[in-house]
Chains A and B, each alone.
Chain A
Amino acid sequence: MDRIPILRMGKFLLVTIQIDLYDRLATNLESDLVNMVNKTGARGVLIDISALSIVDSFMGRILGNIGTMSKIMDAEAVVVGMQPAVAITLIELGLELKGVHTALNVEKGMELLHEKISFDEDTLDEADYENNSE
């Protein structure tokens, strides 16, 4: 069975979607990703959709789901490289993909993930510090 490969890069998972997904493939990707987050304890998920020429409401929902599910499992999801035409079409369609972070390209997406996670860790450190001082 076809599957979209998920690459692991340190604390992050990396997915590049290179073909137009049919529904089964997309739902598989969703569950595979969530399982991977669980198994690896990844802190961030980066999905590159620059090769996707179409994102309809189904695909939009999958992306949104991945975002929300990651969040519950304490990971951040970033969608990168959306085509301008796809962005305009999604807006006209009425989908804003709330809950997923977006970035222009893989590089900027990685920066964003690092930022989010280091911010988390900073606040965590502070909390630890406060606990210790008590």
Chain B
Amino acid sequence: MKTDIAKLLQRKKKQIFENWVAAQLADSNLRDELMSNEELRSQSDELLDVLLKTINNDNLSDVYSQAFEPVREILAGISVFRAKNGYTPTETGLYVFGLKEAFLQAIQGEMKSDLPGMIEVTFRMNKLMDHLAIDTFDTFIKGREEVILRQTDEITEISTPVIRVWDGILALPIIGTLDSSRTQVVMENLLQEIVVSGSTIAILDISGVPAVDSLVAQHLIKTVAATRLMGAECIISGIRPEIAQTVVHLGIDLSSIVTKATLASALRHAFTMLKLEVKRVQREKSI
């Protein structure tokens, strides 16, 4: 007689659940600061519930069938939740493997009399849970990737502010490495702001750029050229001694660009170009 796995597991559900949760709670690495025991229990309960409703003798080996869609959905949810909340991949992996352990315990306990049947069921159960674990891993990594993507977006957003320092003068401090995608964002923001504010001078301050190699220099030259096409002038400031050294050693020609050592001297240059003068107010001495 063939044992109905679904019925067997359904019957032992409570025990499986308790074993599983107990194993999780007993784990010395359990991080209850990330999730309360209550939450862990309800999350695990939901997963087990749906999984047991899905399983039957026929679909046991086919995780990618339509029937398993809800199970994989819940697992994906748990996985993404864990990825975003700082669980390690090991912890997430062990979570699913813990459930497998509990299942196998139950099967071994119940099917002592039917050894060949037990082996078969164990084998299929193993396979099912392994697939689910791999699936979980996939979504876990996707969850992490999403976090990284979001952070990258945020960094590019915040790292390229365009500041109006004076009527007609924009300043753009660049912090961090300047790669081609970053240059795109910088250029776009700068040119857009030039149009909006009607500025004729832009100062690119590169004191926050760790190193200038020929590629970065090329990006800078491109930005300057694009600014000129718009009809504005571009000054590069914040050239540190090391940068001047590497630029010369690499044989990069920056002679077509106005460069200044500090933002202050760049601003002074900009004032001259706009025929502006900054003066100290002479107070009349009263005797």
Contacts and interface: CB of A to CB of B under 8 A. Distances in A.
Interface of A: 79-80, 82, 84-85, 87-88, 90-92, 96-97, 101-105, 108-109, 112
Contact of B195 (A92, A103, A104): A104
Interface of B: 184, 187-188, 191-192, 194-195, 198-200, 222, 225-232
12 contacts: A84-B194, A87-B227, A90-B226, A91-B222, A97-B229, A102-B229, A104-B194, A104-B198, A104-B199, A104-B230, A108-B198, A109-B231
A102 B230 CA distance: 6
Contacts, number: 56
**Chain B: interface secondary structure?**
helix
B231 A91 contact: no
A90 B230 CA distance: 11
Contacts of B228: 96, 102
A108 B231 contact: yes
B231 A103 contact: yes
A84 B230 CA distance: 7
A104 B232 contact: yes
A105 B198 contact: yes
Contacts of B192: 84
B84 to A, nearest CB: 35
Contacts of A96: 225, 228-229
Contacts of A97: 229
